[in-house]
Structure 1
Amino acid sequence: MSSGHFRSSDFSGAAPAAPHIDYAYTHAETLATTGYFSCEPPPSLSLDDALTQLEAAPLDDFLHQHLLRALSKKKPEELRDLAATCYDAAADVFLRPALAGLLLECALLLPAWRELYEAFSPFPADAVTRLAPASPAVYLRAALQPEREAAAAWSTAFRGNICGHHALPRPDEADIPPLFSPEALEKTAEELAARAGILAREHARMAAENWEPRERPPAKDTFLRALDALMEAGFIAGPEMRHEASLSPIALLRSWQVDLHVRNGRLSHSLRGQATAYGRGLSLAQARASYAMEIVERASAYVSVGPGEQESGGQVLDRKEPLPLLKDRHAELREQGRATLNPDLLPLEAPCPDAPLHWLASRAVDGAEVLVPAQAVFLFCNLDEPDLFLAGGSTGLASGNSLDEAKVAAITEILERDAEATTPFSRARCFTLRSRDPRIQSLLEDYAARGIRVQFQDITTELGLPVYQCFVTAHDGSVARATGANLNGARAALAALTETPWPYVWAQPAPFGKASGPGLAGLPERVLEDLPDYSLPSAEANRRLLECVLAGHGRSPLYVELTRADLDLPVVRALIPGLELNAEWDRFSRPSLRLFARYAAMYR
């Protein structure tokens, strides 16, 4: 093999650490009350110096993403000049593989540069294959996947449908090549229908057992316990403030401090800055508990990593229980007889690369140890390894008053996101809401008095957990939406309602506020208190119910406890192989078989 070719191991083996970088955790933008952040090196680090450092530590994802943003702002002609420095055609060698990989990624993402790149052809035809291991990012690996263009076109169509409520074409009239055969769709639809009643049956069986009732602590107690721990540990960075960007009658935000340090392989860096947590609820105590526990879970998932024992992959610091890391290839761990989660069972944009990854122990329902990828557990996890995800998220991360409560919340969130990602928008499943509770009904009437048309879609899947999406349609046709899930259907609907990013100022009398468009006409009405309720008397009972239901569907959750020593508040990350983790649609997404099966069933 010529020196111009690369394997994953060429970029992930032992090597001297690159110079230390102090990254700033920087707010990039806020969309629909969701904040997006980037990790920026010091302004004193020039583009040339940053490129030199990346060549020394090519799997530094923070630096790679910073350079990708910087290069995307340059003119195509400037990128062409940089490309000329990367490749020696006579020797068929990439002189600057990290930069060459960045430029190829820019060609995928920037139409103007792609046009010039194709005309100029600075790299050989197999450049994507050869350079994919030189980048920590998923873009080049995703570009190598079969049916990529068809998957991108379907992702665009489903994004328009699920996020914008645009109509989908009939499957037999779509001008996009199908990703799955009719036989696969029919078989999947039959399997989904056959398993649709498992939750109801398991709930009836377990409800007959003599469970000891255990009420959750009052929201005020949860808030005070969390706030005391956060203040003592130095996480709180600002005062509590109100915001009016959602339908929640009480909506709060509070800044908290991000401060982590990583020494791992060739990487040495810190990450400092301020993040924002949001709390929403029907009462002040609920909103306060919401943001405080969000800070607890996020602070527990942003981790510092230090050196571990010799030959180990390092150690996650500041934990209540030790969290050592192991670095190895998935195939080699399996050969050693270690129980591991196959990363390809997670919703990846491209198959797991043949490269060493960092792993840590999770626990199955029966307590057995199963190794899982560290980057599937932590947030802003920049270790010396290639990325598995285009953008890792927080789905399945949860805190609670108890570990059982945290596990229930984690499973519920995964099922919520899975429902959002696998259920097309359909008017037939939409409804309006009323309540027999005077307080909630008065809130619904107040929305109407301000011209805000609040509507819902039932997106409950074959798993049975009540999942609802609340949406408000603007005059321009854009849709503000949010989802909620809970064993108690009423709580699921209220969670979706209070999360919906439509401005609402309850303190000002109607008709003050931003009116919506008319929405959908003629929808049926459902009563909040009549929505299905599968909850049991304790968090332990609810956890066992959810685990039994998942087992009936051939799924099994894995848990990693992330509880910090200084906070001592239960935090867990759950993973459920085979379920979707986000409903963010982009050109690298691949719609799932279950989504296609539901789409096809709409037209039968």
Structure 2
Amino acid sequence: MPHSTKPAAPAAALPTLHYRYAHTSTEATTGYFACEPPADMTFEQGLDRLEAAPLDEFLHSHLLRLAAVFPPERMSAQLDSLDPAARPATAALLREACLLNPDLSGLLAAAPAPTPETLAAVEAATPHIALRWHAQPDRDLHRAWCEVFRDNMHNHRMLPQLEDMDIPPLYDPAETLDGPEHPVVTAADIRALLSMEPRESAPWQRPPSHETASLALERLVENGIIAGVEMRHEASLSPIALLRRWNVDMTVRCGALDYTLKGEGTTYGRGLSLADARASYAMEMVERASSYVSVGEIKGQLHVLDRATPQPLLHARLSELLADGREVLSPHSIPLEAPYQDQPLYWLAGHTPDDTGGSRPVLVPAQMAYLFCNLDEIALFSASGSTGLATGNIMAEAKVAALTEILERDAEATVPYDRSQCFRLVTDDARLQSLLDDYAGRGIHIQFQDLTTEFGVPCYKCFVVGPRGQVARGTGAGLSGRRAVLSAMTETPFAYPNGGPSGPGVRGLPERKLEDLPDLALESPQRNLALLETLFAVNRMAPVYVELTHADLEFPVVKALVPGLESTADFDAWSRMSRRLFRNYLRLRG
């Protein structure tokens, strides 16, 4: 049966550990952060703490970064002196470090094999996916294909023919190609159906950008979230681009974990006007401040704190919840890098649309909803991801933004680079054409690829080839093709206006007119949401939502999850290639 939401007391109370939210790198205007323990904590002290709280992902990841670069002599000494049965968390960490570093892998092979019982204890004493990922028999095949697809989709190299590959197919080609070319119903079909209904007599109108920005910034200031002044930057094609820092401040007491996380993050705003860019970063700050959360007790039960609606946590295995008759979003329904094996997780209440126009409750793993969600449990992913996280002036607007972002990331992860789908953009809009002409006048050659998937929601990639052949990419998706393509353009991380010229670009591309791009949008966010939810429902992948709205910020914030759709396009060491991507490759080059 599911465990009570009352937190179990750890065997021995640990002192609170104070983590620092530290910026480690920036790639293509995306910042990467690590959660670092106090600087005076030694590696050995960290291991002692880890044995007492083995599922502390922040501490485990910090120690793993250190151990993975040990010289072989030091790692050999660590392994020789280790009793895995007595220190399973340390044993798990060292095994992972050896698997991550080819220079250390031989040491692991030479070490005495633990007993099956000890090995099971070691594998249970790590939050990281590394051991579960490595146990998959097809891991090397996925890694090999990952390099092929990354070269194509990130670097725009031509995909080889299947018969020219020196690695086996990922999936059986005949089985992969056997099926309908498109879903039964596309977004255009749903729109045609909904457009036959009476239009709303007084549809909701989005407030002007300057009003949204003003209200959001006022609430952020009142709650001490803003950390710095507004600054301009020129790291993207956006004609107006702003950034501003914000305060990260979390306290978590959950099982054996007792820690704080403090530091500063950065939010970015882009747009064709100053008001649009300011609203963009302010709302992103609301979104982030609502998704980095504290966890603790309320009346003896574990809760996510400071929510507009109380959000208790339930600790249970998936099998226990199913046996108890609960409706659950199974981790298996979301593409994972390593299998979930029924370990206990923390769950919270979400909801999914029902057949009557309402919704019904669904339990969702808490770590799928929140960012940097480090609870006393295993990690389902190699890194926290924000796909499907969105805010808006009203909840329907937030949900539409969340769903279209999922469609955008899914397209980015499943549609190969294909020159035949590329084009140059022109427009009758004098202001926008002036911007396009200014790019060209500065020697910046921007191009686009149509990434629209079988679901028919417009999605585009904007790309610029740099002077040394590197490809800067931005993507955008939405029911309005015009807004989607402009979003992709302003997101593209190529410096403008003072970054210098690009490389020559792809020659001979056809022109597409901005005004001719598909426009499936209806007259209100509520109707657009109905369109998207119906699209997913008829294709048997109904979305699940978790409302994250902060009690003091009040702007609706939601995390959406759509079973079966990809949520990352990183193509990194942990990635698994989807069957739909392989199908699209076969149709293109098979």
1:103-182 to 2 correspondence within 5 Å? 103-118=94-109, 120-124=110-114, 131-182=122-173
Relative to structure 2, which stretch is displaced further, 407-416 or 105-114? 105-114
After superposition, where does 1:358-369 map in structure 2 within 5 Å?
A: 358-366=346-354, 367-369=359-361
Q: Give the whole-Å Cα distance in 1 for the aligned partners of 2:281 and 2:13.
A: 38
1:191 to 180, 184, 196: 180
Tell me which amino acid in the other structure corresponds to 1:202: I
Counterpart residue number, 1:346: 334
Instruction: Work out whether residues 128 and 144 of structure 1, in 8 Å CA contact, stay in contact via their aligned partners in 2.
Output: no
**Which residue is 1:42 aligned to?**
38
Q: Assess if the C-alpha contact under 8 Å between 1:160 and 1:166 holds in 2.
A: yes
Q: Take 1:327 and 1:124, find their aligned partners in 2: how far apart are those partners?
A: 30
- Residue 142 of structure 1 and its aligned partner are, at CA, apart by 0.4
**Structure 1 letter corresponding to 2:78:** L
Q: State how far apart, in whole Å, the 2-side matches of 1:556 and 1:57 are.
A: 37
300, 305, 326: which one aligns with 2:295: 305
Asked if residue 32 in structure 1 is aligned to residue 28 in structure 2, the reply is yes
Encode CA deviations 1:115-163: one digit per residue, 9 max, x unaligned.
4443x33544978765322110001100001211101101111111111
Cα distance in 1 between the residues matched to 2:183 and 2:333: 23
In structure 2, the residue corresponding to 1:193 is in which secondary structure? coil
* 1:164 partner SS: coil
Question: 8 Å contact 1:423–1:595 — kept in the other structure?
Answer: yes
Q: Percent identity?
A: 52
Distance between the aligned counterparts of 1:323 and 1:449, measured in 2? Answer: 54
Question: Residue by residue, what CA displacement relative to the aligned partner does 1:227-272 show, whole Å, maximum 9, x if unpaired?
Answer: 0110111100000000000000000000000001000000000000
SS for the counterpart of 2:39 is coil
Partner AA of 2:28 in structure 1: A
Distance across 2 between alignment mates of 1:199 and 1:551: 12
Partner of residue 296, structure 1: 286
**Partner Cα distance (1:194, 1:204) in 2:** 16
- Give the equivalent residue in structure 2 for 1:387: 379
Matched, 1:600 2:583: no
Give the partner amino acid of 2:331: P
1:530-570 CA distance string (max 9 Å, x none): 10000001000000000011112111011111111111111
User: Which position in structure 1 is the counterpart of 2:418?
Assistant: 426
Aligned equivalents of 2:13, 2:558: Cα separation in 1: 31
Q: How far does the alpha carbon of each residue in 1:466-507 deviate from its partner, in whole angstroms, 9 at most, with x for none?
A: 0000000112221000100110001000000000000002xx
In structure 2, which of residues 188, 195, 201 is the aligned counterpart of residue 207 of structure 1? Answer: 195
Letter in 2 for 1:205: L
* One-letter amino acid of the counterpart of residue 242, structure 2: L
CA contact (8 A) 2:426 2:511 kept: yes
Offset at 1:107?
Answer: 1.4
For residue 280 of structure 1, give the secondary structure of its aligned residue in structure 2. strand
Q: TM-score, normalised by structure 2?
A: 0.95
Aligned residue among 429, 446, 451 for 2:443: 451
Partner of 2:257: 267
- Provide the secondary structure at the position in 2 that maps to 1:364: strand
Range moving further from structure 2, 206-215 or 136-145: 206-215
- Counterpart-to-counterpart distance in 2, 1:13 and 1:376: 25
- Backbone CA RMSD of aligned residues: 1.6
> For 1:116 and 1:358, how far apart are their aligned partners in 2?
36
CA distance in 2, matches of 1:131, 1:577: 31
For residues 587 and 399 of structure 1, the distance between their equivalents in structure 2, rounded to whole angstroms, comes to 31
In 2, distance between residues paired with 1:147 and 1:125?
Answer: 25
Q: In 1, Cα distance between the equivalents of 2:119 and 2:156?
A: 36
Structure-2 separation of matches of 1:250 and 1:346: 36
- Aligned to 1:480, the other structure's residue is in SS state strand
Instruction: Work out whether residues 249 and 504 of structure 1, in 8 Å CA contact, stay in contact via their aligned partners in 2.
Output: yes
- In 1: Cα distance, 2:440 partner to 2:9 partner: 61
Corresponding residue number in structure 1 for 2:502:
516
Stretches (4+) displaced over 3 A: 12-17, 115-118, 122-130
How far off is 1:75 after superposition? 1.3
| Residues 210, 276 of structure 2: 8 Å contact kept | yes
Q: Map Cα deviations across residues 381-421 of structure 1 (whole Å, 9 max, x no partner).
A: 01000000111200000000000000000001001000100
Q: How many residues align?
A: 576
Q: Is the 8 A contact 1:54 1:64 kept in 2?
A: yes
Residue pair 1:17, 1:265 contacting (<8 A) in 2 also: no
Q: Please show how residues 200-349 of structure 1 align to structure 2 within 5 Å.
A: 200-212=188-200, 213-308=203-298, 314-349=302-337
Counterpart CA distance in 1 for 2:535 and 2:122 is 44
| CA distance in 2 between partners of 1:284 and 1:15 (Å) | 55
Per-residue deviation, 1:346: 0.8
Q: Does the 8 A contact of 1:58 with 1:64 survive in 2?
A: yes
Partner residue, 1:99: 90
Structure 1 SS opposite 2:41: coil
Q: Which residue of 2 is the match for residue 65 of structure 1?
A: 61
- Give 2:16's aligned residue: 20
CA contact 2:68–2:98 (8 Å) conserved in 1: no
Distance in 1, matches of 2:106 and 2:139, equals: 19
**Amino acid of the structure 2 residue aligned with 1:156:** E
8 Å Cα contact 1:86/1:97 also seen in 2: no
What aligned pairs does 1:423-572 form with structure 2 within 5 A after superposition? 423-505=415-497, 513-572=499-558
* Residues 568-579 of structure 1: pairs in structure 2 closer than 5 A: 568-579=554-565
Deviation at 1:41, TM superposition (A): 0.6
Structure 1, unpaired ranges of 5+: 1-11, 88-92, 506-511
CA-to-partner distance for each residue in 1:572-601, whole Å, 9 max, x for gaps? 111111110000112321100110111000
Segments of 5+ residues of structure 2 without an aligned counterpart are 1-7
Q: 1:208 is aligned with what amino acid?
A: M
